[in-house]
Amino acid sequence: MALKKNKVKFGLNKVHWAKITAWSDDGVPTFATPVRLPGAVSLSIDANGENDNFYADNTVYYVINNNAGYEGDLEIALITTDFATDILGEQLDSKGVLVERNDAETSQFALLFEFDGDKNHIRHVLYCCSASRPATEGQTTEESKEVKTETLSLKASALPSGLVKSKTCESTDETTYNNWYNTVYIPTAATTNNSTNTRSASTTKGGSTAASTTTD
């Protein structure tokens, strides 16, 4: 059953991470089961890479789409111990104290999240993310308490296969939509090839091809 088409979006909810636990010899990642990261406040990621125009015959002859992924910030109420150990490489010692070392290695992960829509949630996955250590901040309490959030700086790059991001829309089937947070969705070659062929047929006209990238 097809989903209803949204007109607007708002909010941020259900942020999950899924650690990349292994890579195959041909660059295919294995993802762990997605884990909820509660307390999402805001997410702001900007596209990296700009289109370059190639000029010939006194016109734009070809547009080169330089997709270098995304970069930005995820603000949350408090980083969980699970995320700190699983992704940021911190360790729990024998006394249950969370320890950060200068030789700790961070792990790559998929980031899953959703925006509310007027009809349906818009669910996203960024396939290959890395996060840097957050700043440590605090402030004295005066007449009223003010919550101090924590911010993760994120970089999302492409997988060796070229995958950067996927999101649900009105044409997403119900099973895929409902299972979004059970496993990391990976599009099959058949679905991506069909989509590419359809897009190429619709954007190529009179010997010229237009390429564009849209983000939420």
Across the chain, mean pLDDT equals 85
Question: Which one of 98-107, 142-151, 187-196 scores highest in mean pLDDT?
Answer: 98-107
Pairing of strands 70-76, 122-131: unpaired
Q: Is residue 210 situated within a structural domain?
A: no
Q: What is the C-alpha separation between 193 and 175, in angstroms, rounded? A: 21
Inside any domain, residue 1: no
How many Å apart are CA 111 and CA 186, to the nearest integer? Answer: 13
**Is a pLDDT exceeding 60 seen at residue 200?**
no
Closest-CA residue to 75 (of 134, 122, 32) = 134
CB 17 within 8 A of CB 35: yes
Cα distance between residue 154 and residue 95, in whole Å: 31
pLDDT(209) > 70: no
Kindly report, residue by residue over 103-159, the tens digit of the pLDDT: 999 999 999 999 998 889 999 999 999 999 888 877 778 888 888 899 999 999 999
Q: Is residue 100 part of a domain?
A: yes
pLDDT of amino acid 2 = 67
Q: What is the pLDDT of residue 207?
A: 37
* Percentage of the residues of the chain whose pLDDT score is greater than 70: 86
User: Between residues 178 and 193, which one has the greater pLDDT?
Assistant: 178
Is residue 47 in a domain?
yes
The string of pLDDT tens digits covering residues 9-37 is: 899 999 999 999 999 998 899 999 999 99
Query: 135, 11, 144: which is closest to 79 by C-alpha?
Result: 135
- For the chain, what is the domain count? 1
Phi, psi of 183 (to 5 degrees): -145, 160
Q: For residue 188, what is the DSSP state? A: -
What does each C-alpha distance from 95 to 43, 92, 99 come to in angstroms? Answer: 34, 8, 11
Q: What is the reported pTM?
A: 0.81
- Reported confidence tier of residue 5, pLDDT bands at 50, 70, 90: confident
Tell me how far CA of residue 176 lies from CA of 30, 89, 115, 126, 169, in angstroms. Answer: 19, 31, 17, 16, 11
Residue 75 lies in domain: 9-186
Residue 212 lies in a domain: no
Predicted local confidence at residue 4, as pLDDT? 83
Query: Is 150 inside any structural domain?
Result: yes
In a domain, 26, yes or no: yes
Residue 191, pLDDT score: 55
Structural domain contains residue 181? yes
